[in-house]
Structure 1
Amino acid sequence: MRYIRYACIATFAVALISVAVANRQMTSLQLIPSEVAGWFHMNPGIDLPLFIVIFGSIIVGLFVGFVWEWVREHNQRAEAARQAREMRRMEREIAKLKGEKHQGKDEVLALLDEAS
């Protein structure tokens, strides 16, 4: 199983390297379109290799997707926390009721009663 994982990682690395080598040409990224940049008398931009733009956009897309899912699953996390609080409250209540049940009994008999 370990070798299959290493083969998959190697295949993925070869694919990423081939994409990077095939897309080495420089591309210009601009913050705002050139038509709008005339209004502000500035045109902020940067020249980067295309593979960095591709990999960067993939990483940003993954990050946005993870944040989106985290926000979307807020209700499930809140419900799980509520159920955990309820379970802890019920466990405390059960322990209290067991303590009241065995109050005044011999300790050995109470332990044997709890074990059964």
Structure 2
Amino acid sequence: MRYLRLLFVVVLAAVLIVVALANRQFVEVSLLPAGLDQWVPGDWSARMPLFLIILLAILAGMLLGVVWEWLRESSLRRQSAQRAHELQALEREVGSLRKTHHAPRDEVLAILDAPKPPAPATAATPATGPAAGPAALPAKS
């Protein structure tokens, strides 16, 4: 997958370079129509290479798409946050019910809630003397 992504980036870069080399001529870009130039002070036009205009238009379209999707998904984000808040409240309630409720527990829940036993010692970790075995435990009094 990594190589596929790298190949895509290389092909995209090659296409953008070819487009830039094919459209190097300068063009006049006006931000206001010709009739409005006399009413608005300042110079609202610029000369720039055509490939720069193409790349800026692509970038503006991508940015507009990101903002559009962010606005469209705002209700989903709000719903997700609300459900996460409800889930936390329910988890707190279940935890408090487990502590206060003394009825016999379900066997499955007892197995899931039981502490895990310690991992057995492997052959890679040798015992450190006679105190490591069960025979070295103190006798019960």
Q: TM-score range by the shorter chain?
A: 0.7 to 0.9
Partner secondary structure for residue 39 of structure 2: helix
Displacement, 1:72?
0.9
Change (3 A) 1:91 1:28: same
Q: Deviations over 1:42-89 (max 9, x none)?
A: 442111111111001111111111101111111111110010000000
Structure number with the bigger relative contact order (C-alpha 8 A, sep ≥ 6) is 1
Equivalent residue, structure 1, for 2:89:
89
Aligned to 2:47: 47
Tell whether the 8 Å contact from 1:34 to 1:43 is kept in structure 2 after alignment.
no
Q: Deviation at 1:12?
A: 1.2
Partners of 2:63 and 2:45 in 1: CA distance: 23
Which deviates further from its counterpart, 18-27 or 5-14? 5-14
Residues 28, 45 of structure 1: 8 Å contact kept? yes
> How far is 1:113 from its partner?
8.8
Which one-letter code corresponds to 1:115 in the other structure? A
**Structure 2 length as normaliser, TM-score?**
0.68
Equivalent residue, structure 2, for 1:14: 14
Task: Give 5+ residue unaligned stretches, structure 1.
Answer: 103-110
Tell me how many residue pairs correspond in the alignment: 108
Query: Cα distance 1:98–1:12, how it changes in 2: closer, same or farther (>3 A)?
Result: same
- Partners of 2:112 and 2:3 in 1: how far apart? 54
Which TM-score applies when normalising by structure 1? 0.81
- For the 8 Å contact 1:30–1:46, the answer to whether it is kept is yes
Q: 2:124 aligned with 1:115, yes or no?
A: no
Which has more helix, going by share of residues? Answer: 1
